[in-house]
Structure 1
Amino acid sequence: MKRDSRLSGVLHVLLHMAEITGPVTSETMARAMQTNPVVVRRIMAGLREAGLVRSEKGHGGGWTIGRPLSAITLRDIYDALGRPDLFAIGNRTESPGCLVEQAVNAALDDSLAEAEALLIARFGTVTLAALSADFHARMVASGRSVDLETNHAPI
């Protein structure tokens, strides 16, 4: 099963965008994330609808962050992405009349619902500002600089 890495990818792009003065094009983000600009635009459109980013068309246009980093949580971004599935595990449904399967599925449903609620609540406490601060501390400790174009060039 393929993992949905949109949340991680969007967080990555937004943190890079926070380091850049001015708009960032879909093409630039797509090269950095090794994907198609159409994919980037589709994902960013959901963020725009949620007020997390803005877009400008034309020469000199692109995407900018729409709110202070301290006002954007992982939960905001998760919701804007359409609340993708958090877990790759699920219930067996081959024998819906089986009482064992029903008992197992009920236990899994309850456990997964609790875990999801806990994770989503945690997402609501983590801001882009906190991620940015962590990133900056790592950058200082490593002695490296960050550039969206060169740090993500294909090897």
Structure 2
Amino acid sequence: MPSDSRLSRVLHLLIHLDRHAGAATSELLAGMLSTNPVVVRRMMAGLREAGLVVSERGHGGGWMLARSLAEITLLDVHQALGAPSPFAIGIARDDPRCLVEQAVNTRLSDTLREAEALLLERFGAISLGDLAADFDCRMAQHRSHLL
């Protein structure tokens, strides 16, 4: 089963938006991700509805951050993307009357709910400002190695 990389891709775009002077077009953002501008517009639409980005149409238009990176958490972005399940693990529903299946599904469901709650709590504690600071450190190290 393929993984859902939308969260990672959108986080990437948001950090680029923070560093971009002015509005960034869907075409420019699509180039950063090697994808189609329509894909970018679909991903960004939920972020616009959540108040994380704004967009302007026409010449000179494009996408811009609506809030600072420090004010946006991974949880905000995850929710703006529709809060997809972070896990590909699911439960079987072959025979709901089977007592073994019931026992397995109960434990798996409980454990997955607990794990998701912990993950989302952690997402809420990490701002995009934290990610941008990590990027800045990596960029400084990269530049120092070039000298």
Bin for the TM-score computed over the shorter chain: over 0.9
Please identify runs of 4+ aligned residues in structure 1 that moved more than 4 A: none
User: What are the within-5 Å matches in structure 2 for residues 6-155 of structure 1?
Assistant: 6-143=6-143
Offset of residue 97 of structure 1: 1.2
Distance 1:132 1:31 in 2: 20
Offset of residue 126 of structure 1: 0.4
Offset of residue 113 of structure 1: 0.2
Distance 2:60 2:43 in 1: 21
- Alpha carbon RMSD of aligned pairs, Å? 1.0
TM-score (norm 2): 0.95
In the alignment, residue 55 of structure 1 is paired with which amino acid?
S
Q: How many residues align?
A: 144
Q: What are the Cα deviations for residues 25-68 of structure 1, in whole angstroms up to 9, with x where unaligned? A: 00111121121111110111110011100101111110001101
**Which is richer in helix?**
2
Q: Please, which runs of 5 or more residues in structure 2 have no aligned partner?
A: none
Offset of residue 98 of structure 1: 0.8
Distance 1:69 1:11 in 2: 10
Q: Please, which runs of 5 or more residues in structure 1 have no aligned partner?
A: 145-155
